[in-house]
Amino acid sequence: MEGSSEPLLDAKSKVTSQLLDFQWKLGMAVSSDSCRSLKYPYVAVMLKVADESGQVKKKSFEMTIPQFQIFF
Amino acid sequence: MAGDLESSKALSGLLSGLAQDAFHGHPGITEELLRSQLYPEVPPEEFRPFLAKMRGILKSIASADMDFNQLEAFLTAQTKKQGGITSDQAAVISKFWKSHKTKIRESLMNQSRWDSGLRGLSWRVDGKSQSRHSAQIHTPVAIVELEIGKSGQVSKSPVRMYCSYPTFHIGKLGHGKESEFLCLEFDEVKVNQVLKKLSEVEECISTLMQRA
């Protein structure tokens, strides 16, 4: 219509799932073998989802605080 | 030639190359590449220990995430060591760390994250008008698409709003090879539940930041 080049939400996954549970954890990365002084907090999320067939799956991912704040 | 090894410009380039290799995961930065590009007059057997020394210093600084006081103390000690560095070299290293510290730290943080990250999030609100089995007139439904994949930078592109549809993309970044797209449907009740959880996370983050 307007000739806008902005794409609309074009769901890459055609199957929509239901969110059954949302668990979160705020962690602190202290040290690692490549960096002794990491000292950064992060948010870890665990989603429990059910697809259309009822199959339940768990998805987990991690974000730094700035990333969490960008998305949410 | 000692004179060549003391070149500040070459050392600056060397530190960049070392950082690309050690922290940013840039492939193909070999010892021979660095030598031929930056120190062509220096023979390989002389270049090798020099490179190892600089790499060691840079890794120590990055590993300890040194602040500027620690950095000065560390570099001063290196200048006093047998087979250490010159004060000119110390100045170059100091300048390099000050301007690259943030980026190197970000790469180190990414390296230590082994779980998937959230690479993108998009949402849309649909109005369900009719359904075959029930008269769900004008029930709003939120559709959220999450892109989950291995470590990647979140783009800080501004939020774009669409006038005709309440759809916007937040922080979308390039699609990775291994990204998984998760499409979730939420009714209003569910949206509120999730928002409540998210504000709990925010509260925890604030408390943590206040203590720091």
pLDDT tens-place string over residues B84-104: 999 999 999 999 999 999 999
- Are the Cβ atoms of A60 and B115 closer than 8 angstroms? yes
**Distance between CA atoms of A13 and B81, rounded to whole angstroms?**
60
Distance from the Cα of B158 to chain A's closest Cα (Å) equals 10
CB proximity under 8 Å: B 123-162 to A: 123-124, 143, 145-148, 154, 156, 160, 162
Residue B115, both tokens:
């779980």
Helix (H) or strand (E) run with residue A13 in it: none
pLDDT tens-place string over residues A2-54: 444 444 455 555 578 899 999 999 999 999 988 999 989 999 999 999 988 88
Residues of chain B with pLDDT under 50: 1-2, 153-176
At B100 the three-state DSSP class reads helix
CB proximity under 8 Å: B 16-35 to A: none
- Are the Cβ atoms of A16 and B121 closer than 8 angstroms? no
> How many of the other CB atoms lie within 10 Å of CB of B61?
20
- What pLDDT score does B212 carry? 65
**Could you give the percent of chain B with pLDDT greater than 90?**
55
Buried b (16+ CB within 10 A) or exposed e, A15-28: ebbbbeebeeebee
- What pLDDT score does B179 carry? 84
**Distance between CA atoms of B205 and B121, rounded to whole angstroms?**
21
**Distance between CA atoms of A70 and B39, rounded to whole angstroms?**
43
- What pLDDT score does A33 carry? 87
Chain B residues lying within 8 Å of A60, measured CB to CB:
115-116
Of the partner residues B64, B121, B169, the one whose CB lies closest to the CB of residue A37: B64
DSSP A14: S
pLDDT tens-place string over residues B7-30: 889 999 999 999 999 999 898 999
Region at A38 (left for phi over 0; alpha for psi -120 to 50; beta for the rest): alpha
The more confidently predicted of residues B138 and A68 is: A68
- What pLDDT score does B169 carry? 36
Of the partner residues A6, A42, A70, the one whose CB lies closest to the CB of residue B162: A6
pTM of the entire structure?
0.71
CB proximity under 8 Å: B 48-87 to A: 62-65
